[in-house]
Amino acid sequence: MERLLLLDADVIIWLHQVGLWDPILKNYEIHVASTVLNEVTHYCDDFGRKIAIDLASRIDNNELKEIGADALQLKDLVDRLPRDKIELHDGELESLAIVYHDLVRGMNVCLIDRAAIIGMAYLEIDDKGMSVEEVLVNCGLSGKWKKLADDAHSKKRFGHWVTQGKMILLEAGRKGT
């Protein structure tokens, strides 16, 4: 099993909320896209209080690695995606560009957002994608998974959106012929 993992902002925030951030850091070599690094500043606890997330210090302590896609890699990805069907946030776009252009060989990406999963499948890099459920199971945290995660983090939901992305890709192929 590959241990290089790129996490999207939603995943990082959720892992902090449920107290699984440190176990994931111990089990994977975690990478964060530069844009995501700037997006993730806090999470809200059960009482609605904002709790700071300090990813920069984790990078300084070599617990986490920052990675970025350049402007040409980002433009290439934007040009490949059908904007009328797949709308990505900046962090998702950069994360997919990093994986699409294979900036770190053997790295997988963990996503929750529907559009990002669809985009990944459309780009035919879904073999490099993982649901939160898969990440937790691979770390031996499946017991905590059953207690903490909801459907948004499941492998089943992830697979559903991969299928939707493949259908958009097939439709685009039919229109192009």
Q: Is the pLDDT of residue 121 over 70?
A: yes
Q: Is the pLDDT of residue 37 over 50?
A: yes
What mean pLDDT do residues 53-81 have? 95
User: Tokens in use for 140?
Assistant: 């031996």
Q: Is the pLDDT of residue 1 over 50?
A: no
Residue 157: per-residue pLDDT: 93
What mean pLDDT do residues 106-110 have? 95
SS (HEC) of the chain: CCCEEEECHHHHHHHHHCCCHHHHHHHCEEEEEHHHHHHCCEEECCCCCEEECCHHHHHHCCCCEEECCCHHHHHHHHHHCCCCCCCCCHHHHHHHHHHHCCCCCCCEEECCCHHHHHHHHHCCCHHHEECHHHHHHHCCCHHHHHHHCCHHHCHHHHHHHHHHHHHHHHHHHHHHC
Residue 144: per-residue pLDDT: 67
What mean pLDDT do residues 37-63 have? 94
Q: Is the pLDDT of residue 17 over 70?
A: yes
What mean pLDDT do residues 171-176 have? 70
Number of domains in the chain: 1
Q: Look up the domain containing 111 and give its range.
A: 4-176
Residue 177: per-residue pLDDT: 41
User: Tokens in use for 132?
Assistant: 């939160």
Q: Give pTM, 2 decimals.
A: 0.90
What mean pLDDT do residues 25-44 have? 95
Report whether 110 contacts 27 (CB < 8 A).
Answer: no
CATH number of the domain within which 110 lies: 3.40.50.1010
